């Protein structure tokens, strides 16, 4: 399973998107796709759990979790530095 | 709480001096505002006369660019005189800064802000909605085309809109459109002649009676360029919440300070009547003063924090947690401090007709924990601390 697939799986489990994550474009605004602030917290927790990383406070912004691409980039950076 | 006072445009009065002038007017009418549950029109007229409503607008748009620290000082001074006037001031500037800090490059919004500064217009805001349980992060109402196809419209059932009938500008949160998610909200800047208000409930409360927070069905018709481009979630976390929480905390600090001042006067009067003995209330007064100083430090530190951090960084989860905690802490502090002051003043403070009466302040202070309910804020923070690492 690719990292993108794993991110999609976390989104499907916690993001409360109106459609399956696989149908959402990598650069589509996830908040516009139905992800609430509440759900985004659970997505962040799900990503930390899935990838074994911890998002430092500087990355805990709306921008980091706005698109699949921005999440993938943040996760990749953290995994490299681990 | 100290800060370097700014010199006012005519170079004569400092911001602090202007605040003191308004506070004197507010104080004079505070009891009547409370008794009649009416808008503090005299004090707001004084705010206008002292150019303190447009003052937070940046200099390049005709305002004074007052910092949140300076606004907090004014809020505190007003809070010691009339809680309702101070809350109107605090709400107004949190809302005005929500426009000015998120103008983008929309020319018509900038022009409107220039008018707000030039005429010291009053800004109200309708964020809560019937059915959303007080959670301002969600709306069910939405922006739709108006009958006049060139314009847009929103109809909002608002359980409370503070001083709506006295405002020149009313901000309204709504969903971006009929088909978008409840959290996908925008902030609309409507002028009073574009807004129809049908009152649905009357604000008849224990305290803060002069905020006139009646319930309404609000109908607004506006041009598309009066919808602020930035998503409301961003405006809320970067400006509306941090600025509002700091300014409300400053108001509550002012209220607590006034109560402590009354307790001091009472104890000193008792000491003079019986020279050589220490009045019963004196030890309690000592710890009251100490706790008030801690409250002062909390508020001034929070105000400096908001001024020294870029708006985008106020959207970080750790900053949101901090600003939420400030509101919970400060609202708890004011009720506690005013209550303890009342105990020190005893029957004299409990009566409504003495020089030590604390009834109005006590009633006003109870509202702090309820407007946005602290339990709601703690629930939000409980979610956010699951993620925040707390490193600085």
Residue B100, CB half-sphere, CA atoms under 13 Å: how many? 27
Beta-carbon separation of B389 and A57 below 8 A:
yes
> Would you say residue B5 has pLDDT above 80?
no
pLDDT confidence bin for B44, thresholds 50/70/90 = very high
What are the chain B neighbours of A61 within 8 Å (beta carbons)? 312, 315-317
> Which residue out of B316, B322, B384, B391 would a mutagenesis test of the A interface target, given it has the greatest number of A Cβ atoms within 10 Å?
B316
Mutation target among A49, A60, A66 for the B interface, most CBs of B within 10 A:
A60
Q: Tell which of A30, A32, A37 to mutate to test the B interface (max B CBs under 10 Å).
A: A37
CB contact under 8 A, B182 and A36: yes
The alpha-carbon gap from B68 to the nearest alpha carbon of chain A, in Å, equals 23
- Residue A18 has a pLDDT of 87
pLDDT at position B10 is: 61
Q: How far apart are CA B290 and CA B89, in angstroms?
A: 28
Q: Chain A residue with minimal CA distance to B321? A: A57
CB A36 to CB B237 under 8 A?
no
**Percent over 70 (pLDDT), chain B:** 97
> Closest approach of chain A CAs to the CA of B69, in angstroms?
25
- Cross-chain Cβ contact B391/A56 below 8 Å: yes
Please answer whether residues B258 and B357 qualify as being in contact, where contact means their C-beta atoms are separated by less than 8 angstroms.
Answer: no
A31 contacts on B by Cβ (under 8 Å):
181, 183-184, 231, 233
Determine, for residues A38 and B383 on separate chains, whether the beta-carbon distance falls below 8 Å.
yes
Beta strands at B123-126 and B215-222: parallel, antiparallel or unpaired: unpaired
Q: Using DSSP, state whether B41 is helix, strand or coil.
A: helix
The half-sphere exposure of B136 on its side-chain side, counting CA atoms within 13 A, is: 24
Q: Mean pLDDT, to the nearest integer, of B76-89?
A: 98
Say if residue B3's pLDDT is above 80: no
Write the pLDDT tens digit of every residue in A25-47: 999 999 888 888 889 999 999 99
The question of ipTM being above 0.85 is answered as: no
Q: What would the mean pLDDT of B242-264 be, rounded to a whole number?
A: 98
Q: Residue B152 belongs to what H/E stretch?
A: strand B152-158
The pLDDT score that the predictor gives to residue A82 is 61
Report which of B183, B178, B391, B311 is spatially closest to residue A66, judged by C-alpha positions.
B183
Strand B144-145 relative to strand B123-126, pairing = unpaired
A36 to B138: CB separation less than 8 angstroms, yes or no: yes
What pLDDT does residue A2 have?
Answer: 84
For A53-69, the pLDDT digits (tens) are 999 999 998 889 999 99
Using CA coordinates, name the residue in chain B closest to A45: B387
Reduced to 3 states (helix: H, G, I; strand: E, B; else coil), residue A82 is coil
Whole-model pTM above 0.90?
A: yes
Give tens-digit pLDDT for B174-194.
999 999 888 889 999 999 999
- Residue B4's pLDDT band, with cuts at 50, 70 and 90, is very low
| Backbone angles phi and psi of B37, in degrees to 5 | 50, 50
- Residue identified by tokens 């503090």 is B40
Q: Do B316 and A61 touch (CB under 8 A)?
A: yes
In angstroms, the CA B244 to CA B251 distance is 10
**Number of Cα atoms under 13 Å in the Cβ half of residue B167:** 30
Q: Residue A63 has what pLDDT?
A: 86
Name residue, tokens 């459609």: A19
User: In this complex, do B181 and A32 lie within 8 Å of one another by their Cβ atoms?
Assistant: yes
| Closest residue by Cα to residue B91 from B53, B58, B137, B62 | B53
Write the CB contacts of B67 (distance below 8 Å, at least 6 apart in sequence).
B303, B307
Cβ <8 Å between A62 and B234:
yes
Return d(Cα B192, Cα B174) in angstroms, integer.
17
Percentage of residues in chain B having pLDDT higher than 90 = 91
Structure-token pair, residue B40 = 């503090």
Instruction: Please compute the mean of the pLDDT values over residues B51-76 and round it to a whole number.
Output: 98
- Mean pLDDT across the stretch B331-346? 98
The residue-averaged pLDDT of B40-66 equals 98
Q: What is the Cα B337 distance to its own chain's centre?
A: 19
Distance, in Å, from the CA atom of B176 to the CA atom of B18, rounded to the nearest integer, reads: 40
């Amino acid at each position: 399973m690719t990292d993108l697939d794993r991110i999609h799986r976390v989104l499907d489990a916690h993001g409360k998107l109106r459609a399956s994550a696989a149908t959402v474009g990598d650069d589509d605004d996830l908040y516009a796709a139905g992800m609430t602030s509440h759900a985004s917290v659970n997505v962040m927790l799900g990503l930390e759990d899935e990838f074994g990383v911890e998002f430092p406070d500087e990355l805990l912004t709306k921008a980091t979790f706005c698109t699949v691409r921005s999440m993938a980039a943040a996760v990749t950076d953290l995994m490299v530095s681990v | 709480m100290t800060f370097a006072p700014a010199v006012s445009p005519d170079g004569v009065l400092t911001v602090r001096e202007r605040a003191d002038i308004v506070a004197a007017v507010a104080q004079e009418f505070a009891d009547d505002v409370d008794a009649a549950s009416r808008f503090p029109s005299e004090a707001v007229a004084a705010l206008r006369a002292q150019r303190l409503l447009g003052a937070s607008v940046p200099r390049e748009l005709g305002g004074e660019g007052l910092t949140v620290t300076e606004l907090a000082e004014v809020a505190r001074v007003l809070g010691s005189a009339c809680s309702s006037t101070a809350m109107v001031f605090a709400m107004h500037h949190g809302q005005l800064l929500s426009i000015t800090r998120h103008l983008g490059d929309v020319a018509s919004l900038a022009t409107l802000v220039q008018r707000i500064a030039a005429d010291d217009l009053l800004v109200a805001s309708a964020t809560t909605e019937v059915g959303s349980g007080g959670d301002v992060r969600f709306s069910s109402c939405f922006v739709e085309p108006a009958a006049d196809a060139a314009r847009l419209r929103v109809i909002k059932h608002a359980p409370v809109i503070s001083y709506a009938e006295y405002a020149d500008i009313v901000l309204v949160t709504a969903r971006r459109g009929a088909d978008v998610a409840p959290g996908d909200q925008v902030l609309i800047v409507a002028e009073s002649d574009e807004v129809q208000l049908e009152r649905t409930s009357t604000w008849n409360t224990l305290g803060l009676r002069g905020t006139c927070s009646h319930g309404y069905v609000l109908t607004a018709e506006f041009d598309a360029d009066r919808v602020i481009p930035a998503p409301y979630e961003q405006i809320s976390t970067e400006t509306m919440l941090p600025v509002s929480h700091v300014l409300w905390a400053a108001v509550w600090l002012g209220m607590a300070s006034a109560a402590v001042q009354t307790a001091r006067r009472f104890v000193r009067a008792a000491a003079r009547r019986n020279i050589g003995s220490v009045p019963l209330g004196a030890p309690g007064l000592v710890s009251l003063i100490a706790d008030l100083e801690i409250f002062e430090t909390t508020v001034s530190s929070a105000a400096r924090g908001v001024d020294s951090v870029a708006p985008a960084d106020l959207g970080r989860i750790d900053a949101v947690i901090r600003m939420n905690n400030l509101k919970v802490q400060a609202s708890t502090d004011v009720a506690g401090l005013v209550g303890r002051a009342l105990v020190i003043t005893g029957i004299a403070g409990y009566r409504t007709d003495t020089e030590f009466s604390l009834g109005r302040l006590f009633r006003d202070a109870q509202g702090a924990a309820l407007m946005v309910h602290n339990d709601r804020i703690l629930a939000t923070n409980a979610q956010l601390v699951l993620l925040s690492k707390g490193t600085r």
